[in-house]
Structure 1
């Protein structure tokens, strides 16, 4: 795990009341950080991410304080990030430590920096309501990126749609029977009539669904030797910046689907949804699974099919948003599968308004 610390003189980050603050969001997957700076807009803020020679990940406001070229147009050096216009060198806390051809460095030669923590192959960034204060909490851990018996991989998607539409999609898995027929779907009637329990605690929502004595979908049969029918579960945990989705199945009438230690086939999905703007977002996802044989082959199969399902979701969500813009004066109805998504939206609204429990 690596972390960076802000200079107390860091320039303030403007509040974005449309998004919950005092929250850790995912800024990148570790594998995205190479020998070049990574530019990304997060919560309306232009950010540049880079890793220095000591292995530490840093995040600065993507703007040189000299002539405002994006620092992401520069180059990474052992001590920091060098601007690609006039060569000013900035360290990991945004302080200018070198100006070519000039010995004296002005006191104001610095740029804003963000608190970042790298853990579990993810880079978390803190957006605080008061940017002069240290983070109130530590980023959440995700053990299935290192848990024995599990292997994982993932990807990053950019959505031309608001982040809460992605939340809605992930909290309502009834759509699997219609959108994902060839991968993790299955009989649509079974999905729409699944036993479902929704609970809210604090700033989180939990949705649990069971589909007993059902037909395994293609992804399941491709990855696990089921005998015939299966008892299937879907457990979704919503938090402000991410969702954890535990899905899987056992052969029918074997292990209980509500037993925490049940066997069978498991897929542990992490879904980190970070707003870019009010109308776009970044979706960082990983999928961990527990193959007992042909480990790398099975992992590749599960991740590839997961990627295919998320490609399908992206088409649906972006088309949905385009239509919402066309019919922006039209109200929408709710049905029984919307309970979890509606509770999550209430939490987001409360937090954006600055209210706490």
Structure 2
């Protein structure tokens, strides 16, 4: 099994969305570990190491039969717990004919996989907590849609991007942007509590960006907010606006246009990443059918981010990653990096010598 000691372990990571796993097995790599997802006989999602114990073909090359996974090379059949339950042409099943299972759970339509420290070269350990919730997915005030991106870049560069929304005035001019200087000068508060980092930014009396005007009938200038909550495996970002001066944007029960984004950032390898996202939005009675517009513009926004981050990473490789200069907008990202660095140090204490 691939070493994953360079990532924070013993925690839930996002493996995808419930609607992605259908009749065929789905192979993905998480934290350097190849995994296959499929549905068992009860329709629940199961996850196994993506390697047949017979001749090492990826089990994702096989097929699902009555809730078990049939290898596409010699037909060994594996149950959701990883145990081989059939060897074609052979009555006795070898006791060692099994593959490692991974704990998985589906919460608010998000698939979570528990990535534990390896024990004797194999995945081990059971969850010691419940998976995170995504409240907006179950909130009747919102409707949501989502998708997935694959990045040719390390996962922490995506963290950096999401924790520093000052860039939107330069990168996202056609969607969620706005006046770039207003974004750079927005009052910003950064706080940290354990593994949680929170960034709050406000832009009062600003011009509404294209995504906002397409989804909500603002009267003119807006008071806009960005509230970012970073956790090691995911971020939840609450953005939106009200007509300027109409109500306090510090009020947790504020009205106006709401966009609640979920961002599941799961390392694939040290240099590639999965980005699983959804956007939940409120709607105005005069513009009730804004979901497709919000989803399309959000997808366009995140594609712009992907292009920037991959170009950034490529250039970092070209230049050998010399020291970079920090500015005021980097406070949130730097806090998050310190969280990851501390967890990596703790993880290294458990690594085999």
TM superposition score category, shorter chain reference:
over 0.9
Does structure 1 retain, via aligned residues, the 8 Å contact 2:158–2:265? yes
Other-structure match for 1:22: 10
Distance 1:68 1:15 in 2: 18
Other-structure match for 1:61: 49
Distance 1:81 1:153 in 2: 30
- Does the alignment pair 1:322 with 2:310? no
1:296-331: CA deviation from partner (whole Å, max 9, x where unpaired): 730000010000001100100000000000111421
Distance 1:192 1:210 in 2: 11
Distance 1:82 1:180 in 2: 46
Other-structure match for 2:78: 90
Other-structure match for 1:192: 184
- Does the alignment pair 1:52 with 2:33? no
Matches within 5 A, 1:37-48: 37-48=25-36
Does structure 2 retain, via aligned residues, the 8 Å contact 1:156–1:283? yes
Matches within 5 A, 1:246-257: 246-257=238-249
Equivalent of 1:202, from 190, 194, 207?
Answer: 194
Does structure 1 retain, via aligned residues, the 8 Å contact 2:39–2:67? no
Listed as ranges, the gaps of 5+ residues in structure 1 are 1-12
Matches within 5 A, 1:342-357: 342-354=334-346
Cα 1:22/1:294, change in 2 over 3 Å = farther
Cα 1:141/1:184, change in 2 over 3 Å = same
Q: Which 10-residue stretch deviates more, 122-131 or 302-311?
A: 122-131
Cα distance, 1:294 vs structure 2: 7.0
Other-structure match for 2:229: 237
Listed as ranges, the gaps of 5+ residues in structure 2 are 349-353
Does structure 1 retain, via aligned residues, the 8 Å contact 2:178–2:209? yes
Does structure 2 retain, via aligned residues, the 8 Å contact 1:15–1:129? no
Cα distance, 1:34 vs structure 2: 1.1
1:262-290: CA deviation from partner (whole Å, max 9, x where unpaired): 00000000000000000000000000001
Other-structure match for 1:106: 94
Cα 1:79/1:219, change in 2 over 3 Å = closer
* Partner SS, residue 102 of structure 2: coil
Other-structure match for 2:351: none
Distance 1:104 1:110 in 2: 14
Equivalent of 2:63, from 61, 72, 75?
Answer: 75
Matches within 5 A, 1:123-162: 123-129=111-117, 131-162=123-154
Does structure 2 retain, via aligned residues, the 8 Å contact 1:17–1:353? no
Distance 1:158 1:167 in 2: 14
Other-structure match for 1:4: none
- Does the alignment pair 1:287 with 2:275? no
Cα 1:84/1:294, change in 2 over 3 Å = farther
Matches within 5 A, 1:303-314: 303-314=295-306
Distance 2:285 2:269 in 1: 43
Distance 2:332 2:5 in 1: 23
Cα distance, 1:224 vs structure 2: 0.4
Other-structure match for 1:7: none
Cα distance, 1:254 vs structure 2: 1.0
Does structure 1 retain, via aligned residues, the 8 Å contact 2:43–2:67? no
Q: TM-score, normalised by structure 1?
A: 0.94
Distance 2:269 2:48 in 1: 18
Equivalent of 2:327, from 332, 335, 354?
Answer: 335
